[in-house]
Amino acid sequence: MYTPKLSEFESFSLSRLLTTCFGKTEEKLTACILIDLPDLDLMTNFSFMKEDGFQVQQYAKKFFYDKLLEGTMHEVGYSSVDFLAFKTTGGSNLDPADDVQDENGNTLSLESDVCAKYDIILAITDYSLTAPLTAMAKKYNFRGATLHGVNDIILGSGLAVDYNVISKQAEVFRLVLDQADAFELNFEVHDKSFSLTINCDQQSAQKSHGLCPPGMPDVANLPAGEVYFVPSGANGSFPFRYSDGTIAEMVVSDGAIQEAILLNGNASLVDDRNKQLKDDPATGIIGELGFGTQLLPFSGKDIQDEKILGTCHVATGRSDHLGGNLTPDLFNSRLNASHDDILFAPPKTPEITVTSVVMQKQGESKELFTNFIPTSFLLSQLDSVYSVDHFTSLAS
């Protein structure tokens, strides 16, 4: 698959990012930056800046908060900006506790003192806050963005692009996939083949495109650049790679993972997953199918890597932030009410090959990707917004 070099991108500009994503109005907006910390006392006097292991939070202060205070705030039309921390949730898209803390050690309420107060909220965290922040945005009428896992590569590429261009790319891709009946994902790992069929029932494809203009409460997930569905059903199986390299087969029926089967590696990890599926079946529900639309370098962080053209991901768990109906109250434990992306990409899942992605639409089967490479059919649909020269030799 084609991935550009970091040197091909312009340098990161916070002013460009914020004015592109949120627009610039005559009205002076109040802004807040949220970080997550395991101990809120680390927020007092910004003491986390002197500690190891807090790169994302340190980048939030250095590249966002400090830059806004140094003058970017006035360039983008903000009247004020504050910097607050909440306690680390420990899981993707889990609802956070309500306590937040400022640099002076004061304890505030996330709901009443933050969500109800600010016009723009940026969550720059280790764990994604997209689902809970989206729910709060709809309740309190603010706009925001989640930028979990920020690192140097993301700053220099995924956050350094023109999101007007990214939005156009995502829309062209969206129209190709829109109202599809189903997608068939075929996999190979260790000389074994697996196939997962995800039903979409001709629903409207949605896009994450990074634009969050005035007039409607919303939360952008940055870097953006994907087309996604909330599946109506799923059947088959797919391989899953644990972080230690353990590989398991996830058996899917009736739209949810029913069982995990060890293929190789640590059996206790698979046993733990099967216990979780038994204790809280909602954790196995397939809540998303997504396709990346951007040309980006791999960053080592799913937030960017799932946005790369050629990759695909499925997700389990809550889907309310995507327009689905799986909310935290439907889990047996709110600690399980996460939204967990399962990304298939060469650097992330080197043992697993997505040999093909086939779309069923209007009575026809169209292959979209082969071994992570866009097919000639897909390239012909995208040539108005991509330089397809990068892929032509790969697809031929």
pLDDT tens, residue order, the chain (396 aa): 788 999 999 999 999 999 999 998 777 999 999 999 999 999 999 999 999 999 999 999 999 999 999 999 999 999 999 999 999 999 999 999 999 999 999 999 999 999 999 999 999 999 999 999 999 999 999 999 999 999 999 999 999 999 999 999 999 999 999 999 999 999 999 899 999 999 999 999 999 999 999 988 999 999 999 999 999 999 999 999 999 999 999 999 999 999 999 999 999 999 999 999 999 999 999 999 999 999 999 999 999 999 999 999 999 999 999 999 999 999 999 899 999 999 999 999 999 999 999 999 999 999 999 999 999 999 999 988 887 676 765 655
Say how far apart CA 75 and CA 19 lie, in whole Å.
9
Rounded CA separation 317/269 (Å):
18
pLDDT, tens digit (0-9, with 9 covering 90-100), for 77-92: 999 999 999 999 999 9
SS3 readout for 93-117: CCCCCCEEECCCCCEEEHHHHHHCC
Return d(Cα 21, Cα 144) in angstroms, integer.
Answer: 9
Task: Give residues with Cβ within 8 angstroms of 70, minimum separation 6.
Answer: none
User: Where do the structural domains in the chain lie, given as residue ranges?
Assistant: 6-156, 163-395
Quick: pLDDT tens for 317-336: 999 999 999 999 999 998 99
**Residue 22 DSSP symbol:** H
CB within 8 Å of 13: residues ≥ 6 apart: 160
The two three-digit tokens of residue 299, written as one number: 């960053």
